[in-house]
Structure formats: structure tokens, C-alpha cells
Structure 1
Amino acid sequence: MRADLDRQDRARSAIPPNIPPNGWFVRLRFRASGGAMAEHYYFVDEAIDAHDAAAIALRKAAAAHECSARGNAKIDDVEVRRLRWNPLGWAYLGAPLVRTGTAV
């Protein structure tokens, strides 16, 4: 429902239609098979707040194809930032909200 409201607000605004909606940028960190830290990123535009965005990204990461893409590694860290776009198409990331010790 929130995504529908954002679309309606954008339709009434001066923001060009080719600019993506505001949303949440979620980083999931995990230890790759070689031992190095690796990251997967998700853009979530249907979330109400940062905690909702983290939950949605973790659900997406739990999909079978996502698990195999990271070698079934456990998620070690989640970072959520607000992603906003200006009318020129420039993206801005807000300060991070970090939740550590989250496992999928």
C-alpha cells in the first residue's frame, strides 16, 4: 500500500517518471567460502520503515536461488539505509541502521 501512495505522490510531483521511487538500500554481509567477507545488496521500495526493509530483504535472501548464490553462507550482518532520489536523478543514502548477528 505504501508503494501505491509513493506512486500517487510522484504522479502529482515534478519528479520525472524515469527516476526510481524512494526506498531502502539493504546490505547483507556474509563470509564467502574462501573466508573473505562478501556482500549482497537489495533495493526495497515496499517497506514502511528500516526494520520492515530488513525483514523483506532477509525474506528475499532466504529464497533458494539467493542461498545458492552465496554458497549457503549464513548472513552475518544487515545494514539498512534510506535511499532517496532528487529530481535530477541523483541518489542519496541516509545514515545506516545496522543490525548485527542476524542469521538466515
Structure 2
Amino acid sequence: MTEPSMQAPTTGVDDILAANDGYRLRVRVLNEQGLHARPAARLSQEAQKFGCSIHLRHDGEAVDAKSILDILTMAAGHGSELELHADGPDALEALRHLRALFHNRFR
């Protein structure tokens, strides 16, 4: 009888993971024009509804997800993979909400 493999589960895009300092979520930009002005504005507006801190990371750069200007500086195009990090009392709820926003292409 052989031992079952003890590999760590793989995590992919759209999985919310607990971290020592809050929660993390990887998402992919699905809309054709990327995070241009309208989706960046929508993302920052939706993030501002939560009391937790929310940061967005792309290509090693982390910005405040509540700031439209910060989001625009990332120049995240179609297909870009981003990581959201939330820390605070409503962090999990915030990431669930923002995940749906990415899935619905900011509509």
C-alpha cells in the first residue's frame, strides 16, 4: 500500500486565501480594454465602500485600490493577472464583492 501524495493544493485565479495580514485574491482583467478610466473608477468606488484597506498588485507594483489615479498608473491591460490584498474587519466581504466586479467586467 502506498502513501497518498501530500502536495499542497494549487490555488488559482479567483481563490480567496487567508494570509497572516488579511486576505488575498488573484483576479484576471477580462474586459477587452483593460483597467482604463471607467473600470478603474468603478473599482475604486466599490473599494471605498469598505472600511478595510485594499491594495492591488500588478507586476511587482502595489497601489491603493481606493485610488483611481493609483489604479490607472498600473496600466493593467486585458488578460493581466492582479492580486488584491485586503486587511480589516470586512476584508473577506470586500474581496468577494470585488471578485464579482471583475467577473462581471465592471458592469
| Bucket of the pairwise TM-score, normalised by the shorter protein | under 0.3
How high is the TM-score relative to the length of structure 1? 0.26
Structure number with higher strand proportion: 1
How high is the TM-score relative to the length of structure 2? 0.26
